[in-house]
């Protein structure tokens, strides 16, 4: 079974401080869930203070690029110079996707902390390692597993509910919410064949972005058993 990326560390220093800021990111994700968005939230922290907050807005805006990180970045740039990101940390409930991981590197983000892995579009080790790959912009460290269980449960709650904004909403009344959560990184990816196939198909940033775009319908994510993260469905955690 493919191991999790070695640079993803579940217990970084000052764990309680990190949990406090991740709690703020989870609050944003909860708000996203209540508005039928994929529950991903984030906060940017500079000098111990939150300077920007964001949550997914892809469904409402009908734009597949309106991820939590981009929402927060836009708000920060309205009142701060871009140079502030080199002294700023990101706390986000789910590992940044390839698109967001690339943007964070171009902004020269200092560090990234996330809750759970993104084994479909992860850009910080889940699929590609944008944060540490070759490039002209500085690499940045990533740490995962902070409030991991809560981040996973938010995603599960989303994938069992009906998405009224989807072009063809699926009836999901028979699905049940599973509460058992494996420790961070255990069994990642759960499906050996899927993991190998995914990594054979994704050989570049362009490949990953193309696959991510294919799973958007008119810019609106349409969660289903085929689009739920494999770490959720392979263990029977999302039931049709």
- Of these residues, 16, 37, 69, 164, which one is catalytic? 69
Give percent helix, percent strand, percent coil of the chain, each to the nearest 5: 35, 15, 50
Stronger pLDDT, 176 or 80, i.e. the higher one: 80
- What topology does CATH give the domain 1-161? Cytidine Deaminase; domain 2 (3.40.140)
Contacting residues for 197 by C-beta, under 8 A, at least 6 apart: none
160 confidence band (pLDDT: 50, 70, 90): confident
173 confidence band (pLDDT: 50, 70, 90): low
Reduce the DSSP state of residue 68 to 3 states and report it: helix
pLDDT digits (tens, 9 = 90+) for 121-132: 999 999 999 999
> For residue 36, how many other CB atoms are within 10 A of its CB?
16
pLDDT digits (tens, 9 = 90+) for 201-239: 455 555 555 555 544 433 334 333 334 444 343 222 322
221: β partners: 216
13 is annotated as an active-site residue: no
Domain ranges of the chain: 1-161
Alpha carbons 41 and 63: distance in angstroms, whole number:
17
């Amino acid at each position: 079974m493919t191991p999790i990326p070695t640079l993803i560390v579940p217990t970084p220093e000052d764990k309680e401080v990190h949990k406090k800021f991740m709690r703020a990111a989870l609050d944003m994700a909860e708000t996203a869930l209540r508005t039928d968005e994929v529950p991903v939230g984030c906060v940017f922290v500079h000098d111990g203070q939150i300077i920007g907050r964001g949550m997914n807005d892809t469904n409402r805006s009908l734009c597949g690029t309106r991820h939590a990180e981009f929402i927060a970045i836009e708000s920060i740039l309205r009142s701060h110079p871009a140079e502030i990101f080199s002294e700023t940390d990101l706390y986000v409930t789910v590992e940044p996707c390839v698109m967001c991981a690339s943007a964070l590197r171009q902004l020269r983000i200092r560090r990234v902390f996330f809750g759970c892995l993104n084994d479909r579009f992860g850009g910080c080790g889940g699929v590609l390692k944008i944060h540490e790959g070759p490039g002209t912009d500085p690499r940045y460290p990533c740490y995962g597993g902070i409030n991991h269980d809560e981040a996973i449960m938010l995603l599960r709650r989303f994938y069992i509910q009906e998405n009224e904004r989807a072009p063809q909403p699926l009836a999901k009344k028979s699905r049940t919410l599973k509460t058992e959560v494996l420790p961070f990184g255990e069994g990642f990816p759960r499906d050996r064949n899927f993991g190998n196939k995914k990594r054979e198909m994704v050989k570049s940033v362009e490949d990953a972005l193309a696959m991510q775009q294919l799973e958007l319908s008119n810019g609106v994510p349409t969660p289903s058993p085929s689009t739920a993260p494999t770490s959720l469905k392979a263990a029977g955690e999302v039931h049709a």
